[in-house]
Chains A and B, each alone.
Chain A
Amino acid sequence: MTKPQQLADDGEMELKRRKAQRARNVAIALALGAFVILLYVATWSKLGVNAVVRPTL
C-alpha cells in the first residue's frame, strides 16, 4: 500500500470511528435520560397520593 493511500484509509477510519462514537454518546445520553424519567415516574406511582402530602410543622 502506498503512503497517500494509507493516509486516506486512516482518515476514513477516523471519520467512521468519530461517527460511531457520537452515535454511542447520543444512545447513552438517551438511555440515562430515560432511566431518570423511569425512576421519577415509578416513584410517583409507588407513592401515589402520598407524594403530595407534606408533614405539617
Chain B
Amino acid sequence: MAEMFERGESSGAVAVSTAMPSDYFELLKPRVMQLVVFTAISGLVIAPGELHPVLALIAILCIAIGAGASGALNMWFDSDIDAVMTRTANRPIPSGRVSRQEALAFGLTLSFFSVFVLGVLVNWLSAGLLAFTIFFYAVIYSMWLKRSTPQNIVIGGAAGAFPPIIGWAAVTNTVSLESLALFAIIFIWTPPHFWALALFKSGDYEKVGVPMMPNVVGNRSTQNQIFAYALLLAPVGVLPYLMGFAGLAYGIVSGAAGAAFVWFAFRCWKMPSDDKAMVPAKRLFAFSIVYLFVLFGTLILEAALPGLAALLG
C-alpha cells in the first residue's frame, strides 16, 4: 500500500502520513474536554428526574466527543496562527503530524456522530444544544469573533458555558432557570480566566494579530475589567444556593471560593501594568481553574452523596 500517500496542503508536495492515534486525541483538546465533561456531569446529576445510568454515560460521552470535535475544528481553522504562537506551535497540525484536511474531516465526523447518537439515544433537545455549541465555538468564535474583536472570549465564552445546560436537558428535556444559572457562572468566569492568561501571553497574541484585550486596550484597562468581572462572579457563583437547588455546603464553599477569586483578582489589579513576571496574573489564572472545579465538584458531591450513602446502606 506504498502508493497510499497524502498531499501536504501547505507545500503542495506529496507527504507521508505518520499521524498516530495520540495525535488525533490531541486534536480533541483533552484538557478543555475535562472541564466540559465535569460541568456537563454537574448539570446531569443535579437535574430533577431520572436517566438510565447507561444513557447518562452515553450523554456524557457524546458531550465530551462533541466538545472535542469543536476543538479539532478550531485547530483546523487556527493552524496558521498556532504555528506562530509558542504556546500552540507543537499542536498536531502546525508540527506537521496531522494535515489540515485530516483534522477537518475528523472534526466534522465526530460532530455529526456525537449529535446524532445523543439525539437518537437520549433526546433531540440536548442534541440540538450540542450541535449549536459546536457551531458556536467553531464558527461564531473561531472563525468570526476571535480575530475581529477584543470581546471575542466574552461572547465566545457562551460555547464553554453550554455543557451544564446540555447535561440538564439530557435528563429533563427542558432548559430551565437552574441550568441557566450554571451557564451564567461559566459565562462570567471566562473573561477573567482568559484575560489573566492573555496578560502574560500578550506577546504571543500580538505576534499573530489576535485582538486580545491587553493588546487592544492595554494591561491597565484589562486588569480593571478582570477585577470588575471577579466582583460580578462572586455573587453569581452563589446563585445555585440562593435559588434553592444547591445545599448549604455549596453555599459556604462557593462564597469562600468567590471571596478568594476576588482576592486573587485584586492582587492582579494592584500589579504594575508593566510588570515583567506577571506573577499575580499567573496565580489568578491557576486559581480560576481550581475555582470552577471546586464549585462544580461541590455541586456534584452534594447531589450524589445522599444516593451513594443510600446505596451503601
Contact = CB atoms under 8 A, between A and B. Distances in A.
A16 B54 contact: no
A11 to B, nearest CB: 11
Given A14-B2, A45-B52, A46-B121, A38 B19 contact: no
Nearest to B2: A14
* B interface bracket (residues with beta carbon within 8 Å of A): 10 to 19
A10 B18 CA distance: 13
A36 interface: no
B58 interface: yes
B16 A17 contact: yes
A23 B21 contact: yes
A20 B55 contact: no
Interface string B1-31: 1100000000000001111110010000000
A45 B18 CA distance: 40
Interface string A25-57: 011000000000010011011100000000000
Contacts of A46: 52, 55, 121
A41 B54 contact: yes
B20 A24 contact: yes
A13 B16 contact: yes
A27 B21 contact: yes
A20 B2 contact: no
B21 A24 contact: yes
Given A38-B58, A41-B54, A20 B19 contact: yes
Given A23-B20, A45-B54, 14 more contacts: A13-B16, A13-B18, A14-B16, A17-B17, A20-B18, A21-B1, A24-B20, A24-B21, A38-B58, A38-B117, A42-B54, A42-B55, A42-B58, A45-B52
Interface of B: 1-2, 16-21, 24, 52, 54-55, 58, 61, 117, 121
29 contacts: A13-B16, A13-B18, A14-B2, A14-B16, A16-B16, A16-B18, A17-B16, A17-B17, A17-B18, A20-B17, A20-B18, A20-B19, A21-B1, A21-B17, A23-B21, A24-B20, A27-B21, A27-B24, A38-B58, A38-B61, A38-B117, A41-B54, A42-B54, A42-B58, A42-B121, A45-B52, A45-B54, A46-B52, A46-B121
